[in-house]
Structure 1
Amino acid sequence: LKKLNLEGSYNLKELPDLSNATNLEMLDLSVCLALAELPSSIKNLHKLDVIYMDLCESLHMIPTNINLASLETMYMTGCPQLKTFPAFSTKIKRLYLVRTGVEEVPESITHCSRLLKIDLSSSRNLKSITHLPSSLQTLDLSSTDIEMIADSCIKDLQRLDHLRLCRCRKLKSLPELPASL
């Protein structure tokens, strides 16, 4: 099994053990409204390349210390119950956490040396950013309640070419910008 698409399974509350789905490359759980957490067996999906979890409105827990070796893209738009930043893979390239309840970006994100894009727009619980990986090219913090972005985390992003801070009404000052912008 390479692709598992459960999109729109509104009443799905939990996933089965995924330990034997070792060839899975794509998992789509979008609009699984009742899904509250992912099973710890997700750590066995070493070939998983992309996860779609858009509009999983009840999702509040993702197992910790999961290193999905092949994961490059994660979509988690509209997961308001998700408070902690997911740590799936250090090889991730694109991370979409739009309209989530995420409260902070952990220091461990600096180890994601292939991460090119982070979209945290409309994640209203996010108040500050102090850590970002140096590989970042695109950062979107639009429509957040962000108050502070540490100078050190932005000015060192020499590959950053797209920074969106639209409608950040609580942002008190703009950080020092890299020459790449």
Structure 2
Amino acid sequence: MRDCPMLASDSNFMKRLSLLNCQQSEMDENLLKLEMDLQLPKLKMHEHVPKLEMDEPLPKLELDEHLLKVEFDEHLPKLPHFKKSTSMYLVLLDLSNCQQLKRIPDFDEVPNLIKLILEDCQKLSQIHSTLGRLKHLVSLNFKGCVSLQRLSHSMGLKSLQTFILSGCSNLKLFAEIREDMDNVSQLHLDGTAIMNLPISMQHLKDLTLLNLRGCKNLLTVPHVLCSITSLKFLYLSGCSQIDQLPANLGCLVNLIGLDASDTSISEIPQSIGFLKKLKVLYLYGCGLVEEATPCDFGNLSSLQRLDLSENNFVTIPESIFQLSKLRELCLLRCQKLQS
């Protein structure tokens, strides 16, 4: 505390704080972690499920009470062809770690898929255009598909809720989003090579979480993104080429958590004061100075956690003392901070 006497002099502010970090420990990196488990709806199966028939044998097959689930061996070179008489029952297809899988054939053979997992299929580079016709698909996971460079030009998965492309490090183009794809609540593009987000992002009317962490090629955050008023969590940390946040950031009236750490932003938009529900704000490693913090910053009436570490503050911005619910303030490695 002796290293921050300016704070100590404001007794009312200090009584509100439960944690002031000026020196050693790191802020918990998982404060904004959102549980990703998907609860699949129970499906009513016919009393007598026909024997599963395929042109090629499956390495592993599981049938539980509510859904037909198929898992494949990691050395599988291609996807077996399902008989039409039984493929209609397949709702969960897990192809995780199929290291030799390079392309996926026609999805019309499995029209009732609800969950498709292609995690860590490192040679997968081609996705059949019929993927966009899976009208019942709720969860789609391409995490770690490092050979994937593009998706279908246009996607209209109207039931999709969770879309994961984390770690697809060669993915440069994100698909255009059709108007009927408005049920997506979570979109993970972290660690991809995308440079721009499509204007059609505005069709994601129910989006609550957008993860863009580590998108080092991403140039801007489009203003149209702030028209998605359902958004609650926005992760931009490590997007090193982003030098400003949208001027209309304050339109995200339901935003709870914002992480813009390790970006190149030089100032915080005035409209941030309209984020009345914002509870967690991370801005460490941006090189900010006092003038970058607007007067309206003090209007963040719900803010509880604030990380301003590794910035160039000489004094703590006055507006911070107006944050009535602030409980945790982190000022690690603010080398220029004076008493």
TM-score normalised by L of structure 2? 0.51
Q: Distance in 1 between matches of 2:197 and 2:96?
A: 27
Given residue 161 of structure 2, which amino acid in structure 1 is its aligned partner? E
1:93 matched to 2:188? The reply is no
Q: Distance in 1 between matches of 2:158 and 2:275?
A: 32
Q: Distance in 2 between matches of 1:28 and 1:165?
A: 29
How far 1:172 moved relative to its partner? Answer: 2.2
1:148 matched to 2:244? The reply is yes
State how 1:18-33 maps to structure 2 within 5 Å. Answer: 18-33=107-122
User: Retained in 2: the 8 A contact 1:98–1:120?
Assistant: yes
User: Retained in 2: the 8 A contact 1:57–1:79?
Assistant: yes
1:127 matched to 2:219? The reply is yes
Post-superposition CA distance 1:119-147 (Å, at most 9, x none): 00001011211221221111000111111
In structure 1, what is the equivalent of residue 268 of structure 2?
174
Q: What is the root-mean-square deviation of aligned Cα atoms in Å?
A: 1.3
Identity of aligned pairs, percent? 28
In structure 1, what is the equivalent of residue 252 of structure 2?
157
Q: Distance in 1 between matches of 2:243 and 2:112?
A: 43
Q: Distance in 2 between matches of 1:17 and 1:143?
A: 37
Return the structure number with greater relative CO, CA threshold 8 A, min gap 6. 1
Q: Distance in 1 between matches of 2:143 and 2:175?
A: 14
Q: Distance in 2 between matches of 1:141 and 1:160?
A: 14
In structure 1, what is the equivalent of residue 197 of structure 2?
105
Given residue 135 of structure 2, which amino acid in structure 1 is its aligned partner? H
1:118 matched to 2:210? The reply is yes
Q: Distance in 1 between matches of 2:115 and 2:105?
A: 16
1:10 matched to 2:99? The reply is yes
- List structure 1 segments (4+ residues) > 4 angstroms apart after TM superposition: none
Given residue 39 of structure 1, which amino acid in structure 2 is its aligned partner? H
Match of 2:125 among 19, 31, 36: 36
Higher helix residue share? 2
Given residue 232 of structure 2, which amino acid in structure 1 is its aligned partner? Q
TM-score normalised by L of structure 1? 0.94
Q: Distance in 2 between matches of 1:44 and 1:127?
A: 31
Q: Distance in 2 between matches of 1:53 and 1:120?
A: 15
What is the aligned length?
A: 179
How far 1:8 moved relative to its partner? Answer: 0.2
Given residue 207 of structure 2, which amino acid in structure 1 is its aligned partner? L
User: Retained in 1: the 8 A contact 2:186–2:208?
Assistant: yes
Q: Distance in 2 between matches of 1:107 and 1:77?
A: 21
* Gapped regions of structure 2 (runs ≥ 5): 1-89, 279-339
* Gapped regions of structure 1 (runs ≥ 5): none
Given residue 27 of structure 1, which amino acid in structure 2 is its aligned partner? L
